[in-house]
Structure 1
């Protein structure tokens, strides 16, 4: 377990100077209840409707600092997402009763981690489309202190596991945006999160963006039409 924890902490950027009471409030009981209330309608809906895939957005704490857990997909995998930063997750299976079950099953397959269900699951955020047109439901969960967990990543799917403090993600200097053009005209903007062990972009960055909006209203503000980040 200690080896796994050291692995998760390695390369984790130092926490910026924040009031620790402010930092810890992101995982407080009060903030959890607020988020659960906001997510209740979408959670009820997407427990009834089938989605193409689901991921587990894993909140946690490392040495008392609130963070988000990410995986780096194995570079030996086939497909367009190999080597990308992602959340544990995958396609819906016929045995899955809902999006939450899909996210929990996939997390166990990738990290050998059993998520306990209702106690740590805060809810289901609105699904977002990926590049293949699949509808991906982000399931928000709090895994608690990583010191209490043992992760055994499936090497065929996961190259490494790492965390980023929520305070790091909230710092403007760690946020970038890429503008996309179609036929030489502006099309859309997607967020990018920088200066961690790995660059967070694509669908994972979009879901991170939505998560920060939910966790830190009034502190995190989505920016659009920013100059392209390379």
Structure 2
């Protein structure tokens, strides 16, 4: 497999130029009330369809703001954990418990257990389409806005979380920070997955796919998904 930078074509979609990034790189832009309502509306059908489905796990795709700039909060899984995902960049989340009434409850409970955050459902914008992981589980990405990070007291569980960091949306939207990995099967091209570079940690795997889908939802005039996930033509 190889990592390649995206070509400089993604800022033009159907001939429409994006709004200037400087105007959007604030809470009044990507995290504005109007953009939130647009995203909630687009997620409404998916949320109704998937929140009650028997998915194996859920994660909270964590929007926030840092110094007034929209950002995404990530965790670095503890290197002492068992399994293939130890030490990986991730979103807070985990296996669905029998007591969880739906995937939103799973994502909020796991976020509380990992980061000490008590979030209500009013923070949730919706449920994106579930994705399969390498272990065969189906994971539901639940999109939520934590609000200003300066107003939040994080208490990461050291048994699960090694570090917490954020990447500004403006950073993720810059072409030099976007890459992709091509995968081949039996010597032939099979599929492409996104990678986000040049932060404190490389964002890849399922977390990068969720970031990719979230950016397409949050900034449709600026970000255009160019990857082909497994199982598609």
The partner residue of 1:138 within 129, 135, 141 is 141
Aligned equivalents of 2:21, 2:72: Cα separation in 1? 19
The partner residue of 2:114 within 102, 110, 117 is 110
Aligned equivalents of 2:206, 2:120: Cα separation in 1? 26
The partner residue of 1:163 within 155, 161, 166 is 166
| TM-score, scaled to structure 1 | 0.88
| TM-score, scaled to structure 2 | 0.87
Aligned equivalents of 1:153, 1:54: Cα separation in 2? 18
Do residues 22 (structure 1) and 24 (structure 2) align? yes
Q: Paired residue for 1:150?
A: 153
Matches within 5 A, 1:177-196: 177-196=180-199
Kept in 1: contact 2:68–2:148 (CA 8 A): yes
- Unpaired stretches in structure 2, ≥5 consecutive residues: 1-19, 229-233
Q: Paired residue for 2:222?
A: 219
Structure 1's consecutive aligned runs of 4 or more residues displaced over 4 angstroms after TM superposition are none
Q: Paired residue for 1:11?
A: none
Query: How far 1:116 sits from its partner (Å)?
Result: 1.7
Aligned equivalents of 2:144, 2:170: Cα separation in 1? 18
Aligned equivalents of 1:154, 1:62: Cα separation in 2? 22
Q: Paired residue for 2:203?
A: 200
More helix by share: 1
Query: How far 1:46 sits from its partner (Å)?
Result: 1.6
Aligned equivalents of 2:144, 2:21: Cα separation in 1? 24
Kept in 1: contact 2:215–2:223 (CA 8 A): yes
Query: How far 1:21 sits from its partner (Å)?
Result: 2.6
SS in 1 for 2:200: coil
Kept in 1: contact 2:21–2:170 (CA 8 A): no
Post-superposition CA distance 1:115-140 (Å, at most 9, x none): 121x2100000001111111110000
Q: Paired residue for 1:82?
A: 86
How many residues align? The count is 207
The two structures, once aligned, show a CA RMSD in angstroms of 1.1
Kept in 1: contact 2:52–2:103 (CA 8 A): no
Query: How far 1:67 sits from its partner (Å)?
Result: 0.1
Aligned equivalents of 2:187, 2:96: Cα separation in 1? 37
SS in 2 for 1:26: coil
